[in-house]
Amino acid sequence: EEGSFFARGLGSEPGNILHPDEYVKRINTLKKFGLKINIYDEKKLKKLGMNALLGVGQGSIRGSYLVTMEWNGAKNKSNPLAFVGKGVCFDTGGYSLKPAKFMEDMTYDMAGSATVVGLMKNLAIRKAKINAVGVVGLVENMVSGNAQRPGDIVKSYSGKTIEILNTDAEGRLVLADALTFTEKKFKPKLIVDLATLTGAIIVSLGSEYAGLFSNDDKLSKQLLEAGDKVEEKLWRMPLHKNFDKLIDSKNADMQNINYVGGAGSTTAAQFLQRFILNKTPWAHLDIAGMAFSKYGGALNSGGATSYGVRLLNQLIEDNYE
């Protein structure tokens, strides 16, 4: 439960308190539990070529970061399980500005990253007998004279180019670089990413289920079963090459949004899948409807929920320890 409480604490902070610079400091406190933490600041990210992630944060006075947290609890040096989280500490939408009515909730747009951080704390505290790595991309999506424009084209860490048609389809840009980096650096057995990625998933599933998208049936089954056990439910949604045409761009390898054809949460997942380059078993959890609660429930009085910490802990206990 420690990890859930930590994640909920992070998720509950307003954007003026938990900006990326502060978030990095809080993650760093977890070193004392035995996590190996590496912080990639803007200088390092530029050198690596993480232009998709950097573009999202370039309008903010706060720094942008990629942070890795490693837990090596297995007896051998086996490849880790990897968990990747979207950490947009506040999301105005950028120049593709959000309506005021919905903007206040965007302090929760880092919920996926909070779950990953909470999970890693949990694994360290209980001395889990596995190797795992958590990777979070931390940015603030703001409007300024230096912010990204609709129509900009960026070259991602993978080398693929992206046309930014909408600056509010930013979470997938952060995850694109984080996913490729995670796969390349850690060669994980599997990757699970979590993100408050699309409003479209709330249209589909409300606040009862998170959307599950995956390239791997076995991993999907394990996640669905773990979710049912801990009452953090998932519903599998389609991925299919026929959706790809909706995000193909005339000016770059892809565009970051589709304005025609619907299927907003699926096209976002198809976009992410393009950054899994080595066929690693991968699952994407779109938790936009689950990250915070206006009403509260049996386990939560409302606000940030830490959805996913218990689910992923159960996945690990049941299948990988």
DSSP H/E element including 68: strand 65-72
- Among 62, 121, 172, 274, the one annotated catalytic: 172
How far apart are the C-alpha atoms of 116 and 183, rounded to whole Å? 16
Q: Which residues contact 209 (CB under 8 A, 6 or more apart)?
A: 233, 234, 235, 289, 290
Q: Under a CB-based contact definition with an 8 Å cutoff, are residues 275 and 156 in contact? A: yes
- Among 98, 126, 229, 233, the one annotated catalytic: 98
Query: How many degrees, rounded to 5, is the angle at CA 140 between CA 246 and CA 120?
Result: 90
Q: Indicate if 98 belongs to the active site.
A: yes
Residue with tokens 């949004």: 257
DSSP annotation of 256? S
| The pair of three-digit structure tokens given for residue 2, joined into one six-digit string | 């420690």
How far apart are the C-alpha atoms of 26 and 10, rounded to whole Å? 9
Q: Indicate if 172 belongs to the active site.
A: yes
| The pair of three-digit structure tokens given for residue 100, joined into one six-digit string | 């005021």
Integer-rounded Cα radius of gyration of the chain: 18
- Count Cβ neighbours within 10 Å for each residue of 73-104 and write b for 16 or more, e otherwise: ebeeeeebbbbbbbbbbbbbbbbbebeeeeee
DSSP annotation of 119? H
Residues with active-site annotation: 98, 172
